[in-house]
Amino acid sequence: MAEDLTARDGADTAAVLRPGLLDLFRAFFQVGLTSFGMAILHNLRTTALRLGFVSAAEIEEDIALVQLYPGPIMVDLVAFIGYHVAGLAGALAATLAIFAPSVVMTMLFTELFVHVRHLAPIRAAIRGVMATFVGMLVWVAISLGRPLAVQPAAWLLAAAAVAALRFLKWDTLRLFAAGLLLWAAVLQAGLV
């Protein structure tokens, strides 16, 4: 539960109510349950401020700092806010809470899918989702490939990558390393 602490920075000697681990877990569980995409960052900020986990200055500083860390900003920010509230235990509780709804839903829907995947409407929906996904991949490939349209050497490298994946069954690490070496050779030879 919440505990009574004096305000940080000595600026205000009035007592402030600091949330406990359960408050922290409940708040971040709700954010994880109701938010996705970039809305998560906005909801994290507003929740942390509304519930008094951090001050406005602290949240802005936290957001600036977590951009320096490796990894997803959202995960770093959740852990950082949790740490502000309750140290290492707070960081763990907040991080666990933000992911718990997704983990639980994935487990439930996976189990449900096993029982309904043979149904015609489900199979049709999966085909629709897969077709949409392939369309999105094609669009990404076209968008990334546009700058290469004027470089025949890049098209040859792309064709070689497809052949290595399809016919030689290369893994992505080997393909990536070979691509870097081959592109370095192309640049060294002045072909682009």
Query: 106-139 in b/e burial notation, b at 16+ Cβ within 10 A?
Result: eeeeeeeeeeeeeeeeeeeeeeeeeeeeeeeeee
For the cut 80, the answer to whether the pLDDT of residue 8 exceeds it is: no
Cβ-contact 75, 95 below 8 angstroms = yes
Say yes or no: 100 and 14 in one domain.
yes
For the cut 80, the answer to whether the pLDDT of residue 12 exceeds it is: no
Out of 116, 134, 162, pick the residue that ends a domain: 116
Say yes or no: 173 and 103 in one domain.
no
Distance CA 140, CA 20 (A): 45
Say yes or no: 49 and 68 in one domain.
yes
How many structural domains compose the chain? 3
What is the mean predicted confidence (pLDDT) over 132-161?
87
For the cut 80, the answer to whether the pLDDT of residue 155 exceeds it is: yes
Using 50, 70 and 90 to split pLDDT, how confident is the model at 17? low
Say yes or no: 167 and 179 in one domain.
yes
pLDDT over 90 percentage in the chain = 58
Q: What are phi and psi of 16, to 5 degrees?
A: -120, 150
Say yes or no: 182 and 124 in one domain.
no
User: Three-class SS of residue 7?
Assistant: coil
Say yes or no: 92 and 185 in one domain.
no
C-beta neighbour count of 70 within 10 angstroms: 5
Determine the angle formed by the axes of helices 73-116 and 56-66, rounding to 10 degrees. 80
Q: Which domain holds residue 135?
A: 120-148
In this prediction, residue 13 carries a pLDDT of 36
Cβ-contact 98, 81 below 8 angstroms = no
Say yes or no: 68 and 13 in one domain.
yes
For the cut 70, the answer to whether the pLDDT of residue 114 exceeds it is: yes
Distance CA 116, CA 109 (A): 10
Say yes or no: 12 and 99 in one domain.
yes
Say yes or no: 78 and 50 in one domain.
yes
Say yes or no: 127 and 170 in one domain.
no
In angstroms, the Cα distances linking 9 to 88, 111, 191 are: 21, 50, 61
Q: Which residue has the tokens 């960052």?
A: 41
Computed over every residue of the chain, the mean pLDDT equals: 87
For the cut 70, the answer to whether the pLDDT of residue 11 exceeds it is: no
pLDDT over 70 percentage in the chain = 90
Using 50, 70 and 90 to split pLDDT, how confident is the model at 107? very high
By the 10 Å C-beta count (0-12 exposed, 13-18 middle, 19+ buried), 82 is classed as: buried
